[in-house]
Amino acid sequence: MSSPISLEGKRLLVTGSARGLGRAFAEAMIAAGAKVMVADILTEEGQATADAIGAGFVHLDLIDPESVEACMEATVSELGGLDGLVNNGAIATDIGGPAMTEIDIDVWDRVMTVNVRGTWLMSKAAVPHLAQSCNGKIVNLASDTALWGAPRLMHYVASKGAVLSMTRSMARELGEDGIAVNSIAPGLTAVEATEYVPEDRKSLYVDNRPFTRTQMPEDVTGAVLFLVSDAASFITGQCIPVNGGFVMR
């Protein structure tokens, strides 16, 4: 598999990349010439993915600050530095359905801890290393649910709205270190994490966007590859919706 974008020599870390979108990102980055570290809480699946695509693997539990630091240390040691971080790791599976009045407090707290605090901690750990890169990059995975206010998913929507806001704040703070920080907001994509989504929600997307087909992981990878490439070195604080036109900004 060839890539229209060159990432030759780039050293990249993708969280939550044992499967789904994260795996697609890691695989596309390797095809574009990058050295990649797969990081995931799913140890066996993550190692299998890394072996299959030619990446390194490190265990990562975004709830645990010590695990975040250990992940970063192992990544920098194996890759010899860091040029880009993709904050893809998040809780998204089997949490949709309850109304806002029915969301369990423990589930709310766990979603916020992983999706919001985990993104912050991972980025914080990466900053000293990205600052030593010529064009350090952070790409945060938001969601278009935060752009249109998806119902019966408020804890996840709130977490991804926070990621959008954090991206802008991080971009302003880290610009002096030469680090670009952007986000993408994918639409409903056909991966393991969305298999549980009801058919009526899937149809809502397909029936209300210009591209009336199922969104696949390869529809999203190009935006991430662009944002971690040198071509995007003067772009920061931005969000790219990647959803076939379901949300237009």
Helical segments of the chain, H only: 20-31, 43-53, 65-79, 105-112, 118-130, 145-148, 154-174, 199-207, 218-228
- Which of 226, 154, 141 lies closest to 187 in space, CA to CA? 141
3-state class of 68 per DSSP?
A: helix
Our answer to whether residue 196 is catalytic in this structure is no
Phi, psi dihedrals of residue 12, rounded to the nearest 5°: -130, 145
Could you tell me if 174 and 85 are in contact, meaning their C-beta atoms sit under 8 angstroms apart? no
- Cα 148 from Cα 97, distance rounded (Å): 17
Instruction: Using CA atoms of 211, 208, 241, 31 in order, give the dihedral in degrees to the nearest 10.
Output: -30
From the candidates 57, 156, 205, 246, which is the catalytic residue?
156
Q: Would you list the DSSP string of 203-235?
A: HHHHHTSSS-S-B-THHHHHHHHHHHSGGGTT-
Catalytic residues: 156
